[in-house]
Amino acid sequence: MPALRVHNLAMSLDGYAAGPDQSVDHPLGVRGDELHECFMLTTRFGGPGASDADERFMAAGEENIGATIMGRNMFGPVRGDWGDSDWRGWWGSDPPYHHPVYVLTHHPHDPIEMEGGTTFNFVTGGIESALELACAAAGGRDVRLGGGAATIRQYVQAGLVDELHVVVVPILLNAGERLLEPIGDQVQAFDVAEVVSSPDSKVTHVQLVRR
Amino acid sequence: MPALRVHNLAMSLDGYAAGPDQSVDHPLGVRGDELHECFMLTTRFGGPGASDADERFMAAGEENIGATIMGRNMFGPVRGDWGDSDWRGWWGSDPPYHHPVYVLTHHPHDPIEMEGGTTFNFVTGGIESALELACAAAGGRDVRLGGGAATIRQYVQAGLVDELHVVVVPILLNAGERLLEPIGDQVQAFDVAEVVSSPDSKVTHVQLVRR
């Protein structure tokens, strides 16, 4: 059975995975971009290079992944019925997935085939249905759960997440979208595999794995 | 002017400084003791010794401190009027302060002189009054703000905290008393001076200092 893995999920010191007032201009909400500054330093994002830990955890998020699941809000800012929207994701014509992506939505949408091997598939059957489809498409590799926070919470609550890598960014946002609340009886479902902070970026990587 | 300093304030990964259902038997709430396990390993608490970072941050909390402020709930479990309560704190006859301690309360109480130089003084005039008294008593040294979370939030919101050392403990509590919410317009009042994680205890020390 493939593992369902969350990687590089940034959270502020006060627990927010996104700032308030998410919009097309601010996909991560106001000041939400500060959560991802550490990622932009990595070679993966064309940066000058980050600490060993930052680079290692960034790279780990792409190792042995055959499919990705994401919530609709991570795919784009369109809400409700798709109408005649021609939105094709935030990532340009050649998204960095290069494998099948499953987007959770209540509104049916035809698959969108992009360059470079990425196909966006739209799943209306719920999180377990999306996981089943993603596992089947992953060809024996693992499935990455991209986000956002609400989607990750749903999978955690359902006991379906095997690995959860949280990046604690030492900023305070004071408002926005909380990552880890509520997760109900899954609160003791994880062991702490590793905790390592990066002197340069000042973030802390916390790797949780299912017991 | 003495600095007002918070040290060794443990917070779960999901942001709680105490678990739910605080009581005499569970001063830190249910599972709240897990937040302080890392401290018990330090030589300061008679433990076998912890990582350099854990020991250093624990020791820093007692350096150049001349007085302590705490909320009433940190002093004890008695609520409302003191009545004929003979509660003298959680710490036995010789509390580990050895200097004047100012307890915030709405209900007047005579000072309690303990062994070893600790005196518990009860302040009904509010947080600024307590700070004024503590600064005067500190003899040129700094004032430590002990806790709990609600008291620290009040001082942070009022812009009075100069140093805030948070220990992120990688457990999930899912309920309890939140440390950092809400702190209003003080949300950008701090710089991050240091972030260091301890491989053994798996906690992360985050040292914030007023800009």
Among A15, A187, A190, select the one facing B15 at the smallest CB separation: A15
Among A9-18, A109-118, A129-138, the least confident range: A9-18
**pLDDT of B184 higher than 80:** no
- How confident is the model at residue B188, as a pLDDT? 85
Average pLDDT value for residue range B46-63: 93
Confidence of residue A77 (pLDDT cuts 50, 70, 90): confident
Model confidence, pTM: 0.91
A3 burial level (CB within 10 Å; 0-12, 13-18, 19+): middle
Whether residue A13 and residue B195 make contact (CB cut-off 8 A), yes or no, is no
Q: How far is B88 from chain A (nearest CA, A)?
A: 34
What do you get for the CA distance between the two ends of chain B, in Å?
16
- Kindly provide the b/e burial profile for residues A68-99, where b requires at least 16 CB atoms within 10 angstroms of the residue's own CB: bbbbbbbbbebeeebeeeeebbeeeeebebeb
* For helices A127-137 and A149-157, angle between their N-to-C axes, nearest 10 degrees: 90
pLDDT surpassing 90 at residue A183: no
- In this complex, the residue of A14, A166, A182 whose CB is nearest that of residue B180 is A14
Higher pLDDT, B28 or B99: B99
Partners of B196 on chain A (C-beta within 8 Å) are: 197, 199
The complex's ipTM works out to 0.87
Per-residue pLDDT, averaged over B64-90, amounts to 93
Cβ distance A197 to B192 less than 8 Å, yes or no, reads: no
d(CA A164, nearest CA chain B) in Å: 12
| Per-residue pLDDT at B37 exceeds 80 | yes
Instruction: Please give, rounded to a whole number of angstroms, the shortest distance from the CA of B92 to a CA of chain A.
Output: 34
pLDDT at A79: 87
B81 pLDDT above the threshold of 90: yes
Beta-carbon contacts below 8 Å between A and B? 82
The tokens describing B192, both together, are 């991050």
Statement: residue B182 has pLDDT above 90: no
pLDDT confidence band for B27 (50 / 70 / 90): confident
